[in-house]
Structure 1
Amino acid sequence: MILSSSRSELPRRARVSMAACVLLFVGLLGCGGAGAPLFATTSELPEGSRRPDGVAVDPASAPPRARDVANAEAGLVTLRTPLGTEAVLTTVSGFFRAIVNEDMEALEGLFTRDALSISTTYGPSGSSPSAPLFWTQRMRRLDYTRLAGEVVFREVELEVYRAEDALTSSPHPAIRVEALSMGDVVVRVPITTSRVGSDRLLGEEVVLWLRREGERYRIYRLVEDFQMP
């Protein structure tokens, strides 16, 4: 029985000794290697803060000034988006609203700096005083608040002409087609109520020559068959 027991323990001890030798050999390899590490250690990194890699960036240049029209040979251009009919109606409605309210401040805000009021009563060339001055005098002599509650014009009757429409004839004899600048709009406004009682307050039609300024239209020329009483 004792012999049998001793023979069964020998192989197990041999396996333990072999495993111990393998562990000792691996430990020696790890501790005894004299070669330098293959990666940089913390002590070898630069002391200063790391900066991101440089990137080449082209300096931004200012875009060309926006224009209403340009030729294909012009190269890089910036075109303005055309204003819609709503912008035209805003200016036309604002003009007659300011007249009925006799709001000269609002009216002046609708004119360009060089706006003229052309009266065709004085002949083909007409009379061309400053539009703000002319309307200031009209409001002093006539009571335009009497138009309140009256239908002065109807939007459906407006005739809109744009300079880029390649007009073959002028919308009005007092306006030359060649004088229109790109982006200009001419609006013919038939007047529904031109008189109140015996007083004539407006001509039978008003022609507004509109010029774009930014994102709105202002009145550049006003043509009307009207004579100051």
Structure 2
Amino acid sequence: MALLTGCDRRGAGEFPTRSAHADDDRRAAGIAVDLTSPPPTPRDRAETKEAIVALRTPLGLEAAHETVDRFFDAVFSEDIAALAELVQDETQVQDTRANASAKAHPAASLWRQRFQKREYQALAGALVYRATDVATYRGDQTDELPLDVRYLSSGDDVLPNDVVLHVPIITHSLRSERLFGDDIFFWLRRRGSRYVIYRMAEEVPF
């Protein structure tokens, strides 16, 4: 009984608890934590000699193909607002016809004119292109583009994560009316978590 009584008299307060060490410095020696400096701006690439960087998660080619799919969906519905979400204010369509009176057109205004002159909604159920036919060029492969569209970019203007998709068009006419060129080239540039259309090239059917 004396042993049991002695054990009962040892309360929990006699054992050290976590709160007893609340003031202990538990960080490893030599590590300084700076909580005041903002994190670096995320980017796509960095040099190994740089001390602290923040890299963005790369976008897969699925994101590039999704932008092109959304482009054709907007065209087939003749939805200029949906199309405007996929381009930038400075996005140009390069007309690759040899006899074109103007070589570059603002993308939004050009497609507004095309919707007024042609019935693109009639192509909604047609096979316009196959995803398996689409050729991909990375930002460092623009010199491999066909000569008539290579001028889409100048060397200093190409970003490492830019993508160019070459889309061969299968159904380009309807009732003998030309709606697309034989090929469309989409130069895509990252904006946030998606790609937008930076430049296009096509034999514009005017």
Alignment correspondent of 1:214: 192
Question: 2:142 touches 2:150 (CA, 8 Å); kept in 1?
Answer: no
Q: CA deviation at 1:227?
A: 3.6
Structure 1: unaligned runs, 5 residues or longer: 1-49
Against the structure 1 CA distance between its residues 200 and 168, is the aligned structure 2 distance closer, same or farther, given a 3 Å change threshold? Answer: closer
Structure 1 residue aligned with 2:81: 105
Higher helix share: 1
Q: Give 1:175 deviation, angstroms.
A: 2.4
Kept in 2: contact 1:191–1:202 (CA 8 A): yes
Q: Which residue of 1 aligns with 2:117?
A: 141
Correspondence 1:86-165 to 2 at 5 A:
86-121=62-97, 127-164=103-140
Residue in 2 aligned with 1:53?
A: 23
Equivalent-residue separation in structure 2 for 1:76 and 1:124 (angstroms): 50
Q: State the Cα distance separating 1:136 from its structure 2 match.
A: 0.6
Which secondary structure does the structure 1 equivalent of 2:201 belong to?
strand
Over 3 Å counting, the alpha-carbon distance change for 1:114 and 1:91 in structure 2 is same
What is aligned with 2:176?
198
Greater radius of gyration (CA): 1
Instruction: From the superposition, tell whether residues 69 and 59 of structure 1 become closer, same or farther in structure 2 (CA, over 3 Å).
Output: closer
- CA 1:209–1:125 in structure 2 vs 1: closer, same or farther (change >3 Å)? farther
Percent of paired sites with the same residue:
35
Letter in 2 for 1:53: D
What is the deviation of 1:77?
Answer: 1.4
Q: Output the TM-score relative to the length of structure 1.
A: 0.70
Tell me the C-alpha RMSD between the 2 structures. 2.4
Runs of 4+ residues deviating >6 angstroms: none
Partner residue in 2 for 1:184: 162
Deviation at 1:126, TM superposition (A): 5.7
